[in-house]
Amino acid sequence: RLLLANITQGAFHDAAERGDPPKCRPHTREAILAEITEWIKDPEERRRFVIWLYGPAGSGKTAICQSIAEICEREGLLAASFFLGRLAAGRDSTSFIIATLAYQLSRSIPEIEGPLITAIEKDPTIFSRTLATQMQVLIVEPLMSIHSTNHPRLVIIDGVDECGPNNTAHEELLNTLGNSIYESPNFPLVFLVGSRPEYEIRTAFNKDPLSSLTKSLALDDGYKPDDDIKAYFEVQLREIQQNLLPLLSRPWPTESDINILVKKASGQFIFASTAIKF
> Residue 175's pLDDT is what?
96
Q: How confident is the model at residue 277 (pLDDT cuts 50, 70, 90)?
A: confident
> Residue 228's pLDDT is what?
77
Q: What is the pLDDT of residues 125-136, one digit of tens each?
A: 999 999 999 999
* Most confident stretch, 196-205, 231-240, 254-263: 196-205
Is residue 61 predicted with pLDDT exceeding 80?
yes
CA distance linking residue 59 with residue 71, whole number of Å: 20
Q: How confident is the model at residue 247 (pLDDT cuts 50, 70, 90)?
A: low
Q: What is the pLDDT of residues 135-176, one digit of tens each?
A: 999 999 999 999 877 788 999 999 999 987 667 899 999 999
Q: According to CATH, what is the number of the domain 4-220?
A: 3.40.50.300
Question: Where do the domains of the chain lie?
Answer: 4-220, 225-277
CA distance linking residue 132 with residue 41, whole number of Å: 27
Q: Give the mean pLDDT of 249-257.
A: 76
